[in-house]
Amino acid sequence: MKKLGDKLFKSGFFSTELSSIIENQFQSKTFEKNEFLLKENEVSDAYYFIESGIIRSFAIDTDGNEISTQFYTEGDMVFEVQSFFLRCPSKENFQALTQIDCKWISFETMNKLFHEYPQFREFGRSMLVQGFANLKGRMLSHITTTAEERYQQLILDKPFLIEQVPLKYLSSYLGITDTSLSRIRKEMSK
């Protein structure tokens, strides 16, 4: 189980004391398997740090299909950035695939911390930059790599997802059909 205080301190932005002050602003929460942290058309008011479990974010395409947009696991920060910062309805859903133990902070409290502690503001900026870079990399991988290469990268990045996440969620995340993913898995097992 990853701890929020460790992540804050190891980021290099905070002293042990300031890490503790900020961590104490977060509240503990548990979500049961299949419970939603955020549903489409709701405005996000929570920023989560995942201590244990797996969350899937997904959107509904124009044909009514669920398309997985991301998987969040232990140690990840989770929020719907557009809804959270722009205070607009979300176009994504965030659902627990397993029981989730997390810490969370509200939009109002986060903004208070941004104003009180420049280090927290810099930490937030660095998290946004990292998130943007990851999103850009994922977007480009759908253009510049094959489905097999994307699947192999997923195995390298988060191998435990392969065993714990249903095939239909993984395939939509990779931008392929269930059948194609089954074929890729079969070929790789030879």
11: its two tokens: 């980021």
Spatial separation of the C-alpha atoms in residues 108 and 37, rounded to whole Å: 18
Residue 20 vs residue 38, higher pLDDT: 38
The pair of structure tokens assigned to 7 is 């992540």
Q: Cα separation of 127 and 147, whole Å?
A: 28
- For residues 40 and 111, state if they share a domain: yes
| 98 and 178 in a common domain | no
Mean pLDDT, range 45-59, rounded to an integer: 96
Range of the domain at 182: 145-190
Return the amino acid letter for 80: E
- Please tell me the pTM assigned to this model: 0.90
39 and 125, same structural domain? Answer: yes
Q: Is residue 138 part of a domain?
A: no
- Is residue 136 assigned to a domain? no
Span 4-21, average pLDDT: 79
In a domain, 161, yes or no: yes
Residue 50 predicted with pLDDT over 70: yes
Q: What's at 57, amino acid-wise?
A: S
Structural domain tally of the chain? Answer: 2
Kindly report, residue by residue over 55-80, the tens digit of the pLDDT.
Answer: 999 999 999 999 999 999 999 999 99
Q: So what's the pLDDT on residue 8? A: 75
| Residue 134 within a domain | no
Residue 181 in any domain: the answer is yes
> At how many degrees (to 10) do helices 107-116 and 118-144 cross?
120
Residues 53 and 97 in one domain: yes
Residue 75 counted as domain residue: yes
Burial class (CB in 10 A: 0-12, 13-18, 19+), 133: exposed
For residue 116, the Cα-to-chain-centroid distance in whole angstroms is: 26
Mean pLDDT estimate for the chain: 92
Higher-pLDDT residue of 72 and 6 is 72
Residues 88 and 175 in one domain: no
Q: What is the CATH number of the domain that holds 8?
A: 2.60.120.10
Residue type present at position 190: K
Q: How far is CA 74 from CA 94, 141, 154, 155, in A?
A: 15, 24, 16, 16
**pLDDT at residue 1 tops 70:** no
Above pLDDT 70, what percent of the chain?
A: 98
Q: Domain check: are 67 and 8 in the same one?
A: yes
Q: Is residue 140 part of a domain?
A: no
117, 1, 100, 115: which is closest to 46 by C-alpha? 100
Q: Is residue 86 part of a domain?
A: yes
Taking residues 134-151, what's their average pLDDT?
A: 93
* pLDDT-based confidence at residue 2 (cuts at 50, 70, 90): low
Q: Are residues 173 and 85 in the same domain?
A: no
